[in-house]
């Protein structure tokens, strides 16, 4: 069996591999750097606290870690901020005065209301694919889903976005961007 020193070294490697990905994952759900830092720390601490609950039968350790990250963000909004039925900052788009990094608010202005209408799972897949460039296999591991299912959800979500956006928005984007 690996000794404790080996375990710690292994966990160090695991931390190094995942910390920035987890941070990014949380940042896309909070849009605030300091909040993302706090919740990233909380995620890793929770993972260590509840290590005994990790069941190798149910999936990979990295998938479990992402689930903890997701639940930590939900707890943050529902428990600490008392926003009921809010999973992340997208659910608050345009509704509340919440702490967000200024440049993020500006950048997301045009697409925010459309992304906010998506289900959390759809939004996660789109963000992981388009913003993080993950393959569907990687996305499936993160979300604990089937790779083909992720691909289909992504395709249908983009189609939904196309249908949601009125023609005027397309024309405006075309005129002002190209």
Work out how close the CB of 117 gets to other proteins at its nearest, in angstroms, rounded to a whole number.
14
Q: According to CB under 8 A, which one of 79, 103, 166, 168 is a site residue for other proteins? A: 103
Can residue 83 be called a binding residue for other proteins (CB under 8 A)?
no
Question: 49 or 96, CB closer to other proteins?
Answer: 49
Judged on CB neighbours under 10 Å (0-12, 13-18, 19+), 28 is buried
First-last CA distance in the chain:
60
8 A C-beta contact, residue 31 and residue 105: yes
Binding mask 110-149 for other proteins (x = CB under 8 A): xxx-------------x--xxx-x--xxx-----------
Can residue 102 be called a binding residue for other proteins (CB under 8 A)?
no
DSSP string, 66-104: HHHHHHHHHHIIIIIS--TT--SGGGGTTTS-----HHH
Query: Which residues, numbered 23-62, are part of the site for other proteins (CB under 8 A)?
Result: 23-24, 27-28, 31, 33, 37, 40-41, 44-45, 48, 51-57, 60-61
**Rounded to an integer, what distance in angstroms lies between the CA atom of residue 14 and that of residue 133?**
21
Q: According to CB under 8 A, which one of 83, 161, 166, 168 is a site residue for other proteins? A: 161
Work out how close the CB of 49 gets to other proteins at its nearest, in angstroms, rounded to a whole number.
8
């Amino acid at each position: 069996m690996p000794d404790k020193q080996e375990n710690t070294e292994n966990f160090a490697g695991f931390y190094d591999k995942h910390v920035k990905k987890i941070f990014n994952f949380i940042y896309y759900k909070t849009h605030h750097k300091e909040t993302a830092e706090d919740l990233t720390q909380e995620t890793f601490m929770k993972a260590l606290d509840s290590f005994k609950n990790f069941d190798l039968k149910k999936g990979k350790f990295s998938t479990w870690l992402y689930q903890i990250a997701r639940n930590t963000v939900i707890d943050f909004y529902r428990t600490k901020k008392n926003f009921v039925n809010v999973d992340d900052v997208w659910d608050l788009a345009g509704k509340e005065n919440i702490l967000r990094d200024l440049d993020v608010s500006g950048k997301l202005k045009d697409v925010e209301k459309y992304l906010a209408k998506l289900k959390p799972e759809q939004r996660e897949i789109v963000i992981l694919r388009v913003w993080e460039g993950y393959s569907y296999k990687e996305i499936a591991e993160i979300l604990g889903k089937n790779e083909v299912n992720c691909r289909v959800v992504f395709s249908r979500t983009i189609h939904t976005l196309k249908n949601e956006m009125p023609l005027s928005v397309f024309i405006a984007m075309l005129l002002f961007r190209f």
